[in-house]
Structure 1
């Protein structure tokens, strides 16, 4: 884990989202600095998914501001990677008809500069970019120790391998902010330990900032520099993992008992 500070990164201030009178997010403040891993935890219905949807542009807040790299963030889901933001989904979410390699390539395709015409007519520039994308995808598969599955279809993959493919697809665009949505869900304890090593290494990628929503507390306490706790849409605690693990309000609302860090 790292201690990161300074300009840039993601900043939310006083973010509020309401659904027909139900307050999903109520005045939420959140910071994720470059090179940091920040966790968001809380009971079901606390607002974690809504928070991710706001950052991704799937949900507009009624109040509050978002900035990324010191600029106002007004995200559109289909343009996230152009902004330097990538997200994994709960579960796996791979394209069933594409090979593992092609699934990873799709994560970078929207950032490629090749025009549609160049790609359609097979112009040299399109071919060069396609080769570069596939080389980057192969390198990530090798880095995540799943290169042997490059030509396999998602339905044939062990679940933990599918999770790594989804991570590779998010990383291939070289995001400066990576949103991880319950990456440990469905993994064994040994697989969670391996995932912890992968997440801990992510900030070394050009100072990548990581925002992690997760229920697996061992993972949260191991990889996060800071943790924010939501309950009924409000931030009830924010701080270092050791402090959060023993916070009375957090124990009452979510943990049930103090967590060993």
Structure 2
């Protein structure tokens, strides 16, 4: 994948945990107008890669850049950099309504802050109205505005997933990190999620690039412009979906053998990862 000066880029990233090499010379780019997927068996280094971008793990080698400028991310400064991340679960606050959860995601742009707005403290009324309007707009765009007053725990899992996505989008990110967003969803919900993800880099207002880690290959193939395949911390393949789908190295990484040896067909990560150990 050719490097340019636009968007996020990782250059030769290396991460070690004691004697374990989690990432070994990993390079990739997320242009502003694309969805880039990262796939690989359990233990391949996908979560570690996300944690490097979020500043939770500091690489021992390599560098990150954003629009060609050095990037040293810190978790508490991600929204200021225009980066948002969803979790493998939903991570919603049980004591807040759906609307208030999404408002939390927008507080990086609020002058008074979220707590004063909720408590009705002086000079917060204007911010509160602006936050609520923005949060409702995001929820409406994801088709869940009718649940704004509900407690997250009362909602179906697929709806909570959308609320979590709305909270991430509320900060108006330029880059959205999606960590297994299809986990726990049925086929119909995954298809709807795919339509949402494909649209994100091309929205008229607040478009954002997407870096996606996902096990559901149908979703990855449907939404990604480029796919990077990791195996044991190294990039073994990178390119558009149609190239990755037919790459024998990808099949071998998932199945532990070539197609001829195993008699298997297209890689299916959900079923093929069981023997690879803990996720890295």
Deviations 1:120-158 (A, max 9, x none): 89343x321221111110011111111111111111010
Aligned: 1:62 with 2:70: no
- Secondary structure at 1:162 match in 2: helix
Q: Distance in 2 between matches of 1:111 and 1:20?
A: 40
Matches within 5 A, 1:81-160: 81-114=79-112, 122-124=121-123, 126-160=124-158
Match of 1:190 among 178, 188, 191: 188
Deviations 1:189-222 (A, max 9, x none): 0110100100011002344110000000000000
| Match of residue 250 from structure 1 | 250
Match of 2:12 among 11, 14, 17: 14
More displaced, 241-250 or 198-207? 198-207
Q: Paired residue for 1:170?
A: 168
Measure the CA separation in 2 of the matches of 1:227 and 1:169. 26
TM-score by length of 1: 0.92
Farther-moved stretch of structure 1 (43-52 vs 115-124): 115-124
Gaps of 5+ in 1: none
* Contact 1:81–1:111 (8 Å) recurs in 2: no
Structure 2 residue matching 1:44: 3-state secondary structure = coil
Structure 2 unaligned regions, length at least 5: 256-263, 269-280
8 Å contact from structure 1 (residues 246, 259) kept in 2: no
Q: Tell whether the 8 Å contact from 1:82 to 1:111 is kept in structure 2 after alignment.
A: no
Distance 1:97 1:35 in 2: 36
Change (3 A) 1:107 1:121: closer
SS at match of 1:60: coil
User: Among residues 13, 29, 40, which one is paired with 1:31 in the alignment?
Assistant: 29
Displacement of 1:250 in angstroms is 0.3
For the pair 1:235 / 2:235, whether they are aligned, the reply is: yes
Secondary structure of the equivalent of 1:97?
coil
RMSD: 2.1
Partner of 1:110: helix, strand, or coil?
helix
Helix, strand or coil at the partner of 2:139: helix
TM-score with structure 2 length normalisation? 0.86
> Which digits, 9 at most, give the CA deviation of each residue in 1:26-50, with x for residues without a partner?
0000100001000000001100000
Q: How many Å separate the matches in 2 of 1:13 and 1:187?
A: 34
CA distance in 2, matches of 1:82, 1:111: 9
